[in-house]
Structure 1
Amino acid sequence: MPDLLKRLGERLRAIPPAGVDFAITLAVLIGQTVPFLFTRRMSGPEPWTLAEYWPVLLSSLPLLVRRRFPMTVFVVVAAASAVYSLKDPDIPPQPVPYGWLAGLYTVAELCPGWQRALAILLSLAPGFTVSPATFVRSALTAGAAYVMGRAVVQHREYAALVEERAAERERARIARDMHDILAHGISVMIVQAEAGPYAVRNAPERAERAFRAIADTGREAQGQLRRMLNLLRGADSARAPQPTLGGLPDLVARVSETGPAVRLAVAGTPAALPADAEVAAYRIVQEALTNMVKHAQAATGEVRLDWKDDELMITISDDGRGPAPGGGGHGLVGMRERAAACGGAVTYGAGPTGFEVVVRLPVGEPA
């Protein structure tokens, strides 16, 4: 049932505004015509005339342009309803002034404050001059129509706010991805390029590996950047698979070829991680290794995955000095943001042999 209601709601929202206005006008016209079809004259068998029916048309048909001229339509519809109520009592009564309520709803939804106040005043004044009971009835019906119109405005503003915040979070996520991709790729290429001249003179085979690593790293960074740009454009290719824990062996191997000798260790029984946690784990390890290459001046390092019952703990350690005091830039902040978004946490600081980053991610759907 919820899925059926959801699909129904989506189809209703897909109806163009002109179609909605036509349906409302038709419903109001039918509702106000029904008394003429099932009510007989008290004074005789004569049929109803157009002169008696025209206020019904005037209080219904203007609703076709209610969005373009909301206040004008309301005044016309309200005046037609008032004229109808003041005509010969022999004509059939209208139990509910549908056209007037639809016009007031539109004013409440689309018009500025002073026009809304004027519409309320025009709606209540006739009832106040007739009788207290009529005034109370008019106040209740007018209040219901007005509240419904303002509720639609509030819902629309809330939906826009939620969408804006979602867009801000998406921009922040893309910015972190761009930082991680560029920082890692450029750092690896710089290290390889600096070592290239020495390797060419003393170890040609090592120079060949260095140039190959530069090309591979550049191609991978280019591919990931292309996916990010396609995501910004909304292209279908943006749906390409995101990096996961399965890519860590290749990532560690590339870093080992360019700088510190890093090894990958796994303990415990691997379990399923949510998709966002998989991406976060890969990006955090990538950023930690980038910092290791750029700042640590380390000779060795380790990436250790400890699978526990309710969490995955990732430890990235090295024998270097770590970032300068007060440093770390956007990379360490981005690590914490990524982990927090998945319900996890990141800590970093001095380790047993150098610098250490510890990541904790929940196994299963985050709370």
Structure 2
Amino acid sequence: MLGDVALMVAVLLAQLAPFVSNRPAPGHDGWEPAMFLPILLSTVPVVWRRKAPFAVLIATEAGAGLYAFFPQGAPQPIWYGALLALFTLAAQAPWWQRITALVFIGWGAVLLTGALDTAARGVLLWVTVYALGRAWAARGAQTAALKERARHLERARELEAALERARIAREMHDVLGHGMSVMIAQAEAGPVFVGRDDARVTASFDAIAGAGREAMAQLRRVLGVLGDGRNELVPAPTLAGLPDLTNSVERPGFIAVHLAEAGEPRKLPADVEAAAYRIVQEGLTNVLKHARPDHGAVRVDVALAWTGDGLTVRVTDDGVGARGDGAGTGADGAGRGLTGIAERAAACGGQARWGAGAGGKGFRVEASLPAAVR
């Protein structure tokens, strides 16, 4: 508002300047006070030009028109207030107001201006100011569009970063959860055979060391994206690594893992293979965490079933584990591990299910994955 007031004062001084640089007509001691009323009418409304540009343009044009009734007044070659009002109207007002203003000014220039060349110069001046106003409006629209695009890009980057953080958290959960579960399971099994079967004790320690090395290697791969990218990354897990994965989970006399495959194997996208591996890994981790043998060893069956649509992965055990069924997104009270399985399957366009095993014994985790990422 202060800027508009300052601009109005500058316009008023410009319109009053001819009264200082010129002298009254012969026979007049000074300028008539009434001559200043049109000057005020053509300048004071400039203060409100942003709020009501059309009304301000009409008012300033009316002031300029009233000045024609004072032929003895100081010459006013340019009506700055009306030009500012037209500029603002061209930049801000709706189309119908702009068209009305152009017609009004055009007819006024033709009817009120005596000489044709003077009318032509006036029309050229007004059209130029109008064009400048439209250019200013276009620039403002472009600036607003660029700002909106920048906001969209910023939101997209934030979403991408959030998704990447979630992916890294999920990977770390799977890697650490499985590695720690295997090490704990083998550490618990080792003392049982101390003094009775040194080979099994040695195998338990070897399994602990192997699980630790594997976890460290996979953590380096996961965290490599957070570094400078110069470290060599471990390849993403594939189905070819399932035999080693199942062997690392076995605990002689406690957990026996059987891997079976049915159907015609085919090449899967890397994301689908990694998801299948992680789902099996998380299923085995759940067995290590929750399965409790009723009598004897817990049997775990890892089944890969190839179908025309893709691959079905199933991990079942006959221990006494968690109860409750679930599917889809990991709802119904599912823990982080089951939620991660559902999210991995959904990311590939598949679906995960879990619940009690056959006959209500044990636990079952199953995921259907497509042959191609959807």
Normalised by the shorter chain, which TM-score bucket? 0.5 to 0.7
TM-aligned CA deviation for residue 288 of structure 1: 0.5
| TM-score (ref. length: structure 2) | 0.61
Within the candidate set 342, 349, 361, 1:343 is matched to 349
Output one character per residue of 1:117-157: Cα deviation in whole Å (capped at 9) or x when no partner.
Answer: 89x99996464797664454233222221111111111111
Looking at structure 2, the residues matched to 136 and 239 of structure 1 have their Cα atoms a distance apart, in angstroms, of 62
| TM-score (ref. length: structure 1) | 0.62
TM-aligned CA deviation for residue 354 of structure 1: 2.3
Partner of 2:279: 284
Looking at structure 2, the residues matched to 261 and 300 of structure 1 have their Cα atoms a distance apart, in angstroms, of 5
Looking at structure 1, the residues matched to 261 and 323 of structure 2 have their Cα atoms a distance apart, in angstroms, of 30
Q: Does 1:365 align with 2:364?
A: no
Q: Does 1:329 align with 2:335?
A: yes
Contact 2:86–2:130 (8 Å) recurs in 1? no
- C-alpha distance 143-327 of structure 1, shift in aligned 2 (>3 A): closer
Partner of 1:143: 137
Looking at structure 1, the residues matched to 232 and 222 of structure 2 have their Cα atoms a distance apart, in angstroms, of 7
Looking at structure 2, the residues matched to 283 and 124 of structure 1 have their Cα atoms a distance apart, in angstroms, of 69
Within the candidate set 136, 161, 164, 1:167 is matched to 161
TM-aligned CA deviation for residue 238 of structure 1: 5.8
Alignment of 1:95-244 (within 5 A): 125=85, 127=87, 133-237=127-231, 239-244=233-238
**AA in 2 matched with 1:214:** I
**AA in 2 matched with 1:277:** V
Contact 2:263–2:307 (8 Å) recurs in 1? yes
Contact 1:344–1:362 (8 Å) recurs in 2? yes
The residue matched to 2:182 in structure 1 has which SS?
helix
- C-alpha distance 136-187 of structure 1, shift in aligned 2 (>3 A): same
The residue matched to 1:302 in structure 2 has which SS?
strand
Contact 2:314–2:365 (8 Å) recurs in 1? yes
Output one character per residue of 1:193-215: Cα deviation in whole Å (capped at 9) or x when no partner.
Answer: 11212211221111011111011
Count, aligned residues: 250
Looking at structure 1, the residues matched to 140 and 241 of structure 2 have their Cα atoms a distance apart, in angstroms, of 58
Partner of 1:249: 243
Contact 1:272–1:364 (8 Å) recurs in 2? no
Looking at structure 2, the residues matched to 331 and 124 of structure 1 have their Cα atoms a distance apart, in angstroms, of 68
Looking at structure 1, the residues matched to 178 and 84 of structure 2 have their Cα atoms a distance apart, in angstroms, of 69
CA RMSD of the aligned region, Å?
A: 2.8
Contact 2:220–2:233 (8 Å) recurs in 1? no
Contact 1:199–1:207 (8 Å) recurs in 2? yes
Partner of 1:30: none
* Higher relative helix content: 1
Partner of 1:316: 315
**AA in 2 matched with 1:254:** S
Partner of 2:63: none
- C-alpha distance 203-328 of structure 1, shift in aligned 2 (>3 A): farther
TM-aligned CA deviation for residue 226 of structure 1: 2.0
**AA in 2 matched with 1:338:** R
The residue matched to 1:165 in structure 2 has which SS?
helix
- C-alpha distance 360-206 of structure 1, shift in aligned 2 (>3 A): same
Looking at structure 2, the residues matched to 238 and 329 of structure 1 have their Cα atoms a distance apart, in angstroms, of 33
**AA in 1 matched with 2:337:** G
**AA in 1 matched with 2:259:** L
The residue matched to 2:142 in structure 1 has which SS?
helix
TM-aligned CA deviation for residue 293 of structure 1: 1.3
Q: Does 1:295 align with 2:301?
A: no
TM-aligned CA deviation for residue 322 of structure 1: 2.4
Contact 1:231–1:238 (8 Å) recurs in 2? no
Contact 2:246–2:257 (8 Å) recurs in 1? yes
The residue matched to 1:336 in structure 2 has which SS?
helix
TM-aligned CA deviation for residue 163 of structure 1: 1.2
TM-aligned CA deviation for residue 235 of structure 1: 2.2
**AA in 2 matched with 1:350:** A
- C-alpha distance 195-365 of structure 1, shift in aligned 2 (>3 A): closer
- C-alpha distance 354-324 of structure 1, shift in aligned 2 (>3 A): closer
Contact 1:180–1:283 (8 Å) recurs in 2? yes
The residue matched to 1:357 in structure 2 has which SS?
strand
Partner of 2:364: 356
Looking at structure 1, the residues matched to 230 and 239 of structure 2 have their Cα atoms a distance apart, in angstroms, of 24
Contact 2:185–2:251 (8 Å) recurs in 1? no
Within the candidate set 257, 260, 282, 1:262 is matched to 257
Contact 2:221–2:235 (8 Å) recurs in 1? no
The residue matched to 1:273 in structure 2 has which SS?
coil
The residue matched to 2:373 in structure 1 has which SS?
coil
